[in-house]
Structure 1
Amino acid sequence: MTSSYERQPGLARLLLLTAILFVGYLCVAIPLPSVPVYVTATLGLDNAWAGLAVGVAFFATILTRGRAGAFTDHHGAKAAVWRGLSLYAAGSLIALVAGAWSSQPWLAYGVLLLGRLVLGLGESLVGVGVISWGVGMVGPAQSGKVLALVGAAIYGALAIGGPIGLLVLDHAGFTGAMLLSAVLPCLGLIAIWRMHGIAPHPQADRPPLSAVIRRIWMHGMVVCLQGIGFAAIGAFFALYFMHRQWMHAGLGLTAFGTGFVLVRLCLGHLPDRIGGLPIAIGSLVVEAIGQAMIWSAHDPLLALAGAFLTGLGCSMVFPAMGREVVHLVQPHLRGTALGAYSAFQDLAYGLTGPVAGLLADRAGYDSVFLIGSAAALAGLCMAIYLRFRALAAAEASTRPLV
């Protein structure tokens, strides 16, 4: 049995890796509210183009998650994180150039999309690499803890990155915001330079990616449907507040991230203790209520309360379902499975931006959050089905043979 002394170094390294992810992910968080404002207010384009500028990074991530997982399995998690952080910095620098060309809206927009695509490629590698690295540090039995800490870092960055992005946008312009986004991943590169990686599995036999997806797709769809609520807040909450002439437009992601991190820190151990599906079911109920509150809000405090509840609800779905995924595959397929699983969340983020932008143009910003509530309820139905299926399988396995 592993002693507490032996486990502690792994946990300490995991916490350091989590801190590195937090700093690096700020370069993803800072543009989330500032990109739509830049596209609509500075370039003069409509909400659908703003939504596409946000969502295109997630589309790039969707298309490359499988390859990122295979790269992680073959070359190691440290190599994946290193390459991903480098792409973070490159994507932000490309977007910085777009900020300098704002007098030519369509040229600036095209350059911005290129930068967002490169950022999305980086997210593929960083997301899968950090999770695989963390699970390798502490073992699959604590995979729920790893996923909870990773999510706390990501959404903690989102909680402060949104207001930082809008603040820098006000004082230094879009170019200043992108310059800051380019510097932050470089700090992560310096920090991981001397960290020990985990051994890759380059020679192991591997089934095709489609076979892995067939095993985990329903778990991924639950995460996809859950992610629509967060994507709606990330892309349109600030514009929603500005449209209603409410103060503190940048606090939506802060309220969301505060609720998200609070649950991760206090309840992050629960998926490993009682299983992922019960946690996901309760979480999706809370998220649906939070999105409905934003949709029906008549004052900013109620909308911010809805964003906070959405954060509470979204918090544990990814680690809860991810814990189930980790236990469905062999160790040498872990990176591939987590890459495919994460792609479902990216799908939600990629589709929500442009589709919700079109909806906002026609039915108002509040309608976006009604869709988020309905999506959470659909995810709830799928999670309940998986729970009943798991209970039936467990009962069948313990039934005596006649």
Structure 2
Amino acid sequence: MHQDISTDRTYRHVVVMTAALFLSYLTVAMSLPAVPVRVVRDLGLGNAWAGLVVGIAFLSTILTRGYAGAYADRLGGKVAMQRGLLVYSAAALICGRLVLGLGESIAMVGMISWAIGLMGPARSGAVISLVGIGMYGAFAAGGPLGLLLLDRIGFESLMAVSMALPLLGLAVIQALPAVEPQAGHREPFWRIIGKIWRPGAAVALQGVGFAGLGAFFSLYFLSRGWPFAGLGLTFFGVGFVLMRLICGHLPDRFGGRNVALAALAAEACGQALLWIAPNPYLALVGALLTGLGCSLVFPSMGSEVVKQVPAHQRGTAMGGFAAFQDLAYGATGPIVGILADCTGYDSVFLVGGVCAVIGLAAVNSIGRHPNAA
């Protein structure tokens, strides 16, 4: 009975962390649809510039994931998350997209390391699912909220709101118990990457669909004169969070490979529906289906990564693993932005669907190489 009570208490701690991550990630989510609109509509720049402005934050996370993981391993996940939230707030204060990426990197990797330390590696899939609930729940709420605030109070005031939210998240986690960092031989970052590149490739290919949707869904709707331009991330986020709430335990129960195969197939269908949608209603269904599919790829592959590394390098491994997804997020915006200029916004979702199908092959290769997750 004591073990059950302890487990319940630990789970509640991780839920509180998730709430703090939700509050702080609104800083990212509110700016994601607002920044492209400001760049294209207010500043008169092209879609490639809009994609670059969105993608530059993800580039920053790519460059700092190794640092963030080693930082969490060395000082502990709680300290990393706390300092990451402070960087979030500073990024909003100066409207610095590169700094925003650094804050996201340290805070997210710190939380994953901290939460897995509390709950144990056997529940790593559930932990990563909760992290995603916080992040993409923020996307669901932050998409329309960011556009609303941009319209009502202006871009500068939107950034002021974004500065306050991570500080609130910092207060929420202040009293939670820390997990002491563990000692041990630390392998070089690139050697760890060599162990986890297959699941990393799968999450990178999955990430193309979300990145294209996040950067260009609003502009896609506006170009066709459709209503509900601000609801793309909402429908994506609702599907994403519902799937994690209902099925977040499945990677721990059935294995990451099996769950990821089904998830990528669903994402491919959602992207295809967005590509051919004749009206906004079917396009929103496509966004929902994309969210349902994207939801379980990261925790499924993350649960496989955790099995491959010792506890004292778990943060480094998860940082490297997340960098694969960041690479997709950072590269997709400017690349598909150029494509959208040439062939229209619908082609963005064709690319996302093709990448999801290629991702199926990447996940299937993990089954053929069980010792090289």
Q: Indicate the TM-score class for this superposition, using the shorter chain for normalisation.
A: over 0.9
Percent identity reads 55
- 1:294-309 → structure 2 map (5 Å cutoff): 294-309=274-289
Structure 1 residue 2: Cα displacement: 7.1
Matches of 2:117 and 2:134 in 1, distance apart?
Answer: 18
TM-score (norm 2): 0.98
Structure-1 residue corresponding to 2:153: 172
Q: Match for 1:126: what amino acid?
A: A
Structure-1 residue corresponding to 2:166: 185
What SS does structure 2 have at the residue aligned with 1:30? helix
Structure-2 residue corresponding to 1:261: 241
* Aligned: 1:285 with 2:272: no
Structure-1 residue corresponding to 2:5: 5
After superposition, the C-alpha distances for 1:260-300 in whole angstroms (9 at most, x for unaligned) are 11110000111110100000000000100100110111100
Matches of 1:385 and 1:60 in 2, distance apart?
Answer: 29
Q: Match for 2:291: what amino acid?
A: G
Structure-2 residue corresponding to 1:102: none
- 1:2-401 → structure 2 map (5 Å cutoff): 3-95=3-95, 115-201=96-182, 203-390=183-370
After superposition, the C-alpha distances for 1:36-66 in whole angstroms (9 at most, x for unaligned) are 0011111111111110000000000000000
Matches of 1:213 and 1:389 in 2, distance apart?
Answer: 16
Q: Match for 1:377: what amino acid?
A: V
Structure 1 residue 250: Cα displacement: 0.5
Q: Match for 2:151: what amino acid?
A: D
Structure 1 residue 373: Cα displacement: 0.2
* 8 A Cα contact 1:278 1:387, kept in partner: no
* 8 A Cα contact 2:270 2:289, kept in partner: yes
Matches of 2:2 and 2:358 in 1, distance apart?
Answer: 41
* 8 A Cα contact 2:48 2:335, kept in partner: yes
Structure-2 residue corresponding to 1:103: none
* 8 A Cα contact 1:35 1:50, kept in partner: yes
Q: Which has the larger radius of gyration?
A: 1
Paired positions, count = 372
Structure 1 residue 389: Cα displacement: 3.1
Gaps of 5+ in 1: 96-114, 394-402
After superposition, the C-alpha distances for 1:209-257 in whole angstroms (9 at most, x for unaligned) are 1110000011101000000100011100000000001001010000101
What SS does structure 2 have at the residue aligned with 1:199? coil
What SS does structure 1 have at the residue aligned with 2:324? helix
Q: Match for 1:146: what amino acid?
A: V
Q: Match for 1:89: what amino acid?
A: S
Q: Match for 1:69: what amino acid?
A: G
* 8 A Cα contact 2:81 2:111, kept in partner: yes
What SS does structure 1 have at the residue aligned with 2:193? helix
Matches of 1:344 and 1:294 in 2, distance apart?
Answer: 24
Matches of 1:381 and 1:152 in 2, distance apart?
Answer: 26
Structure 1 residue 193: Cα displacement: 2.0
* 8 A Cα contact 2:16 2:173, kept in partner: no
TM-score (norm 1): 0.91
Matches of 1:173 and 1:292 in 2, distance apart?
Answer: 35
Q: Match for 2:58: what amino acid?
A: F
After superposition, the C-alpha distances for 1:11-59 in whole angstroms (9 at most, x for unaligned) are 1101111111111111110000000001111111111111000000000
After superposition, the C-alpha distances for 1:136-158 in whole angstroms (9 at most, x for unaligned) are 11111110100111111111110
Cα distance change of structure 1 residues 148 and 364 upon mapping to structure 2, 3 Å threshold? same
Structure 1 residue 204: Cα displacement: 2.0
Structure 1 residue 388: Cα displacement: 3.4
Gaps of 5+ in 2: none
Q: Match for 1:169: what amino acid?
A: L
